Structure 1
Amino acid sequence: MPSAPCRSSVAAALRAAGCVFAEDEAELLLAAARTPDELAVLVDRRARGLPLEHVLGWAEFRGLRVTVEPGVFVPRRRTEFLIEQALARAPGASVVVDLCCGSGALGAALADALGRVELHAADIDPAAVRCARTNIAGYGGQVHQGDLFDALPGELRGRVDLLAANVPYVPTGEVARLPAEARDHEPLTALDGGADGLDVLRRVASGAVRWLAPGGCVLVETSGRQAPEAVGIFGGAGLKAQVAVSEEWSAHVVIGTLDGRGGQPWASRRACP
């Protein structure tokens, strides 16, 4: 077991590299390393700016340890709010889709909470698909590679009870201002949402009505600034739309429900207690 001075020196090296939570990260790296040489490699990778999750090979998400390869989008803790909203609105969902799945964290978390479900996930990035297959294999899920709905099996049309889509929503002009960990180490396709950040959200909204079961819902994370327009986009696609807000996590989730009659846009705001 590494000695206390070793623990202190690791934390000092991380702090010098600008890691805000150096002591906590040191504990994780010490636990992950099997030898002093391996520890040195891990500390060096983190000090050079690689996201901690990529260094460790996993991220914690809603109590699960999710495999995350270098170059794959790291699931954000605020996105756990999307999972809470999904479970509150579709506690009996039996067919679940994780679109723009990245590591498959959302699909794994939903399946873990819901129990036995038919789970599908899809992403355009091959590295993400590899990770997702690892993360949802234990739930009997299937992962498909391709562009949004084009990747899904046709027999899912009209059957999806719960569609979670963690779409990219950073406007193109703002990508350069993202933290270096995201900007330099995560795929652009997982970050850049087009000129106003809503390009992929528009495509998800327009396609969702053909894939959702009556009463099914689609949930997409966005920013507070974009949320009003996103509600309009969902409503224009024939979904009843609302925004759920967590003040604690600074998270905004747009929720669209298919009622079988098309529906008109509506909106509500609820702060997480």
Structure 2
Amino acid sequence: MRQNLTFSLDNKTEKSITKRLRSEGCIFAEEETQVLISQAGSIEDLMKMVEIRASGVPLEYVLGFTKFCGLRIDVERGVFIPRKRTEFLVQQAEALTQICDIVVDLCCGSGAVGAAIATNLSKAVLHSVDIDPVAVRCSSRNITNIGGHVYQGDLYNALPHKLRGRVNIIVANAPYVPTDAINLLPQEARLYEPKVALDGGKDGLDLQRKVVEEAPRWLASGGHILVETSKIQAAQTFEIFAKAGLTTKIARNEELDATVVIGKN
């Protein structure tokens, strides 16, 4: 018998939940069953969550949160779900961030990247931006409680003008999936996550170009910009950085299948 805070569950019911999730294509059905049980307040809540998950809704939306860099990050339907690989972007940014640095997180989505940096480096001053009002609402819940600021708008246009030339770190997990490749994404991303957070244009690099080209005007002398990209797009992203006059390098983590291009102003 498994005991939760408010209800108990017999092994037969638990196994039936796992079987139900597996039959609907949940690869990690056993693990997801345990997570759902741990988060449900009653047997009625649990069965409702199971049915929603079995319908194909991403687990993170069912739960209302995900784990990222050890943090509990609120997510909601219509907001991009942060990926494990993006923790490498955070690691690379943290290595370059000093106490009291100004950090800007562009295309922030749930705000996970900025929240992780600001939490681990508590003196950093965080400014996060997204064009999507749903993302801004969600990121506000993850950022304002740690002293960060969230703005709705198109990239740098949303930032206070006083930050121009004073930003120490810019991070961006801008969408980099080529438009024609959207249909090749896993069903959970393709059907449930916002297209604006996935579609990077014809070659996947449209947003990266906008982010990088304007970065030197916002970065302080010696400041850095870090952008997540894919392994196959890394050389093109590198060229975008170099063309903007930035001293550029590529960082790669094979275990996470994560690639970050880093530029210094």
Higher alpha-carbon deviation: 81-90 or 186-195: 81-90
Contact 2:98 2:124 in 1 (8 A): no
Q: 2:191 aligns with which of 184, 192, 207?
A: 184
Query: What is the CA–CA distance in structure 2 between the aligned matches of 1:99 and 1:161, rounded to whole Å?
Result: 14
Query: What is the CA–CA distance in structure 1 between the aligned matches of 2:18 and 2:198, rounded to whole Å?
Result: 30
Specify the alignment match of 2:3 in structure 1. none
Specify the alignment match of 1:62 in structure 2. 69
Alpha-carbon offset, residue 92 of structure 1: 3.8
* 4+ residue runs over 3 A deviation: none
Specify the alignment match of 2:4 in structure 1. none
SS in 2 for 1:225: coil
Q: How many residues align?
A: 258
Query: What is the CA–CA distance in structure 1 between the aligned matches of 2:217 and 2:49, rounded to whole Å?
Result: 46
Contact 1:93 1:161 in 2 (8 A): no
Q: 1:49 aligns with which of 49, 56, 68?
A: 56
Contact 2:174 2:227 in 1 (8 A): yes
SS in 1 for 2:76: coil
Contact 2:99 2:123 in 1 (8 A): no
Query: After superposition, what is the alpha-carbon deviation per residue over 1:94-146, rounded to whole angstroms, capped at 9, x for unaligned?
Result: 11111100000001000011112211101011110011100012211110001
Alpha-carbon offset, residue 37 of structure 1: 1.6
Contact 1:98 1:164 in 2 (8 A): yes
Specify the alignment match of 1:226 in structure 2. 233
Q: Which amino acid aligns with 1:8?
A: K
Query: What is the CA–CA distance in structure 1 between the aligned matches of 2:41 and 2:146, rounded to whole Å?
Result: 30
Report percent identity of matched pairs.
Answer: 52
Q: Which amino acid aligns with 1:222?
A: T
Q: 1:207 aligns with which of 201, 214, 237?
A: 214
Specify the alignment match of 2:5 in structure 1. none
Query: What is the CA–CA distance in structure 1 between the aligned matches of 2:99 and 2:232, rounded to whole Å?
Result: 32
1:166 paired to 2:190: no
Contact 2:119 2:146 in 1 (8 A): yes
Alignment of 1:77-88 (within 5 A): 77-88=84-95
Q: 1:140 aligns with which of 129, 134, 147?
A: 147
Alpha-carbon offset, residue 40 of structure 1: 1.4
Cα pair distance change 1:93/1:193, threshold 3 Å: farther
Alpha-carbon offset, residue 93 of structure 1: 5.5
Query: What is the CA–CA distance in structure 2 between the aligned matches of 1:29 and 1:116, rounded to whole Å?
Result: 35
Q: TM-score, normalised by structure 2?
A: 0.95
Alpha-carbon offset, residue 34 of structure 1: 1.0
Specify the alignment match of 1:153 in structure 2. 160
SS in 1 for 2:72: strand
Query: After superposition, what is the alpha-carbon deviation per residue over 1:7-32, rounded to whole angstroms, capped at 9, x for unaligned?
Result: 21111111111101001100111111
1:25 paired to 2:4: no
Q: Which runs of 5+ in 1 are unaligned?
A: 259-273
1:74 paired to 2:81: yes
Alpha-carbon offset, residue 50 of structure 1: 0.7
Pairwise CA RMSD of aligned residues?
Answer: 1.0
SS in 2 for 1:89: coil
Alpha-carbon offset, residue 41 of structure 1: 1.3
Query: What is the CA–CA distance in structure 2 between the aligned matches of 1:49 and 1:256, rounded to whole Å?
Result: 39
Q: Which amino acid aligns with 2:20?
A: A
Contact 2:100 2:123 in 1 (8 A): no
Query: After superposition, what is the alpha-carbon deviation per residue over 1:46-72, rounded to whole angstroms, capped at 9, x for unaligned?
Result: 111111101100010000000001110
1:99 paired to 2:145: no
Q: TM-score, normalised by structure 1?
A: 0.93
